[in-house]
Amino acid sequence: MTHLDPRDDVDVPVPALAHPGDCACALHARRRLGGALFGAGLLAALGTTPAAAAVDPDIAAECKRSGFTKVVSAEQIEQAAGQQYVQMLQQAGNQRALVSKDHNQLKRLRYIGERIVPFTLGCNERARDWRWEVNLINSSQLNAFCMPGGKIAFYAGILTKLQLDDDEVAMIMGHEIAHALLEHARERMGKTAATRGVIEIGAALLGLGNTARTAAGMGGQLLTLRFSRDDESEADALGLLLAAKAGYNPRAGVSLWKKMMTASKGAPPEWLSTHPSGTSRIAEIEARLPRAEPFYQRAAKPDQRFGPPPVKPAS
Rounded average pLDDT over 233-258: 94
pLDDT of residue 64: 77
* pLDDT digits 0-9 by tens, 263-282: 877 565 444 455 566 788 89
Confidence of residue 10 (pLDDT cuts 50, 70, 90): confident
In this predicted structure, the answer to whether residue 296 has a pLDDT above a threshold of 90 is yes
pLDDT of residue 107: 96
Verify whether residue 200 is a known catalytic residue: no
Give buried/exposed letters for 37-49 (b at 16+ CB in 10 A, else e).
ebbeebbeeeeee
The Cα–Cα gap between 118 and 44 comes to: 10
- Region class of 146: left (phi > 0), else alpha (psi between -120 and 50), else beta: beta
Rounded average pLDDT over 14-43: 49
Q: For the chain, what is the mean pLDDT?
A: 77
Find the helix packing angle between 209-245 and 252-263, rounded to 10°: 140
Confidence of residue 24 (pLDDT cuts 50, 70, 90): very low
The Cα–Cα gap between 232 and 262 comes to: 19
Least confidently predicted of 58-67, 101-110, 269-278: 269-278
Choosing from 114, 168, 176, 232, the catalytic residue is: 176
* pLDDT digits 0-9 by tens, 186-241: 777 766 666 555 445 444 444 555 555 554 444 444 444 443 677 788 889 999 99
Residue 71 makes CB contacts below 8 A (sequence gap 6+) with 189, 190, 193, 194
pTM: 0.79
pLDDT of residue 86: 94
Rounded average pLDDT over 302-311: 90
Residue 51 or residue 15, greater confidence = 15
In this predicted structure, the answer to whether residue 110 has a pLDDT above a threshold of 70 is yes
pLDDT of residue 14: 83
* pLDDT digits 0-9 by tens, 155-194: 999 999 999 999 999 999 999 999 999 988 777 776 666 6
